[in-house]
């Protein structure tokens, strides 16, 4: 049985956030990228390494631009690493393509919304062995929302595959899709606004290596 989540990585997240702040200009958030679609709030194909995401390379993990995509590599067990572009939104629909390029199938990766700080945000994950969940971190404590453990779905492509992930944070409704199939939808009102982000993590085996591309944030 797939157990849910590992002890949340507050320490590494703080280290990565601290190092990332040094790599940005004064810590100021970049403006949303212009897009011809009027409903688009922010988008990134990661072809420009100065578009605002964290760029950190440490022993425990990597968050950086690579090969016109954005790579998150986790080189420690039971850890999670994430990155944010420095934006702030209320209601959002987020889409991204996520490809496993290395490491175990027993992993997790996905999207954040309404990110306040390292101890307060929503996150939506799938795994390379076919599981999914919606969760939140409140004051550093994490919990699944509307489920007791991660559930499985045939809609999630397993192994070294590319999955199209979509999430929506609209009012108090949180919804997760994979490859066009709705996986889970719940209600929660702890956070109303915040940054968006990408994340990946490990369980017992290190080496989760995920490449993200075509990140688009639109108005629901």
Chain mean position to CA 153: 19
Give the predicted TM-score (pTM) of the model. Answer: 0.85
With 0-12 / 13-18 / 19 or more C-beta atoms within 10 angstroms meaning exposed / middle / buried, residue 11 is: exposed
In-domain check, residue 85: yes
Q: Tell me if 1 is assigned to some domain.
A: no
Q: How many domains does the chain have?
A: 1
Q: Which of 92, 88, 71 is nearest to 200 (CA)?
A: 71
Q: For residue 74, tell me if it sits in a domain.
A: yes
Q: How high is the pLDDT of residue 30? A: 37
- Give the Cα separation of 46 and 53 in Å (integer): 9
Tokens 């990155």 — which residue?
83
Give the range of the structural domain holding residue 105, as residue numbers without chain letter. 10-218
Q: 132: pLDDT confidence band, cut at 50, 70 and 90?
A: very high
Q: Which residues contact 197 (CB under 8 A, 6 or more apart)?
A: 82, 83, 84, 85, 111, 112, 113, 115, 121
Distance of CA 100 to the CA centre of its chain: 14
- Tokens 């080496």, residue located: 207
In a domain, 191, yes or no: yes
The residues pairing with 89 across neighbouring beta strands, listed in sequence order, are: 194
Has residue 168 been placed in a domain?
yes
Tell whether 2 is covered by a domain: no
- DSSP character at residue 78: T
Domain assignment present for residue 4? The answer is no
φ/ψ of 128, rounded to 5, equals -80, 0
16: helix, strand or coil: helix
The pLDDT value recorded for residue 4 is: 45
Q: What is the dihedral of CA 34, 39, 43, 45, to 10 degrees?
A: -100
Q: How many CB atoms lie within 10 A of CB 21?
A: 12
| CA 66 – CA 46 distance, rounded (Å) | 8
Buried b (16+ CB within 10 A) or exposed e, 145-163: beeeebeebebbbeeeeeb
Q: Band the pLDDT of 164: cuts 50, 70, 90.
A: very high
Model confidence over 27-81: pLDDT tens digits? 333 333 333 455 999 999 999 999 999 999 999 999 999 999 999 999 999 999 9
Instruction: Write out the two tokens for 191.
Output: 């956070």
Provide the CATH number for the domain around residue 101: 2.60.120.560
Is 107 a member of any domain?
Answer: yes
pLDDT at 86: 96
């Amino acid at each position: 049985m797939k157990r849910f989540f590992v002890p949340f990585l507050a320490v590494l997240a703080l280290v990565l956030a601290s190092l990332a702040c040094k790599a940005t200009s004064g810590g100021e958030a970049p403006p949303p990228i212009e897009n011809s679609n009027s409903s688009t709030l922010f988008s990134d194909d990661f072809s420009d390494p100065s578009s605002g995401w964290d760029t950190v390379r440490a022993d425990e993990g990597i968050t950086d631009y690579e090969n016109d995509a954005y790579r998150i590599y986790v080189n420690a067990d039971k850890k999670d690493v994430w990155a944010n572009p420095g934006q702030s939104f209320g209601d959002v629909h987020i889409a991204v393509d996520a490809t496993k390029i290395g490491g175990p199938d027993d992993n997790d990766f996905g999207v954040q919304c309404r990110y306040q700080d390292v101890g307060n945000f929503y996150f939506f994950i799938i795994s390379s062995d076919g599981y999914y969940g919606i969760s939140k971190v409140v004051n550093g404590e994490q919990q699944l929302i509307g489920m007791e453990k991660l559930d499985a779905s045939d809609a999630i492509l397993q192994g070294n595959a590319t999955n199209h992930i979509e999430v929506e944070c609209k009012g108090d409704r949180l919804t997760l899709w994979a490859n066009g199939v709705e996986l889970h939808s719940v209600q929660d009102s702890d956070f109303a606004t915040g940054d968006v982000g990408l994340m990946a993590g490990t369980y017992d085996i290190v080496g989760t290596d995920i490449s993200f591309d075509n990140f688009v944030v639109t108005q629901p």
